Amino acid sequence: MEQQVASLSTPSAMSAEDRAAVEAFRHDVLETSLDHLVLVRFTATWCSPCKQLAPIIDKVIAEHGQGRTRQVVIDIDQQRLIAEQFRIQSVPTVYAFLGGNPVDGFVGMKSEREIKAFLERLLAALPPTAEESSVEEMLAHALALLDAGEALPAADAFAALAHEHPERADIAAGHARALLAAGQIEAARTVLAAIPADSSEAAVLQARAALDLAESAAPATEVNALEQRVTADPADHQARIELAQALFATGRLDEAADQLLASIAADRVWNEGAARVQLLKLIEARGLSDPWSAATRRKLSHLLFS
């Protein structure tokens, strides 16, 4: 959609009603968009698609607007001057304003998924507030504690953040991972159960993968027994998989990967590629951006394609 005027012209002959509408637009849209994302929804009472779109936009803003999104609704029949200046030719039409200017928009119906993607892309362009910067700093600290193996302090840090920001699924996911690292599987399961089932955030997927591994991993006390099984029969792929899970749970990441890579090298199709599937689960649980995950993926690719 072409960008329109960044301000409204003021006709010399303007009714008091039009003047009030222009002033409201300047305040509610142009000025507010200096520190918020403002969605201007042009609509009409006779427009059926407008009535279908309205609750979808309301829902997406309520769930994903992060408190930094405002919506202004303009009836093109009641506010003709503004509709004309923005050359609205059909409804529904939605314009997004940032920094006092229209930066994007669309015409017609959109699905909830499309509007969510539209909103999140625009919100990413907003500079963080002081409060948001503080939250991100505390989140980074909690993640650093977790990466350093300080599971209980990390769990406490995540719990404090989750109390203040219960809407943040990524914080709840971090809390669950910290609880898992501390061996509190039931508590982690409870935290993850509170996250909407349809959440597809990377942090949530990572935490769920970690929970799956923790629930299926052999106790750390069985590591020696599993190592003896593998030594006695290197072709015992099931023992290698169980050993890898146990090693991963105790933080012995490279050894866990080595066991699965050895199984893949020996028989990559055993049990429908179970060792490869398990290795990908470990990578997902660790996080795709983790250095260990990146290195392990390179090893797997080299093994599969060399």
CA distances from 263 to 79, 230, 239 (A): 70, 10, 10
Which residue in 47, 60, 157, 207 is the catalytic one?
47
Helix axes 202-216, 237-249, angle to 10 degrees: 120
Judge contact between 52 and 84, C-beta under 8 A.
no
Q: Any idea which residue has 């849209």 for tokens?
A: 29
DSSP 34: G
Question: In whole angstroms, what is the distance from residue 101 CA to residue 31 CA?
Answer: 10
Judge contact between 62 and 116, C-beta under 8 A.
no
Which residue in 50, 115, 155, 204 is the catalytic one?
50
Close Cβ partners of 83 (under 8 Å, ≥ 6 residues apart): 42, 74, 76
- The CB density around residue 216, as the number of other CB atoms within 10 Å, is 13
Q: Across the chain, how many H-helices and E-strands are there?
A: 14, 4
In the residue annotation, 50 being an active-site residue is answered as yes
CA nearest 152: which of 179, 173, 174?
A: 179
Cα 216-278-185 angle, rounded to 5 deg: 30
In the residue annotation, 47 being an active-site residue is answered as yes
Catalytic residues: 47, 50
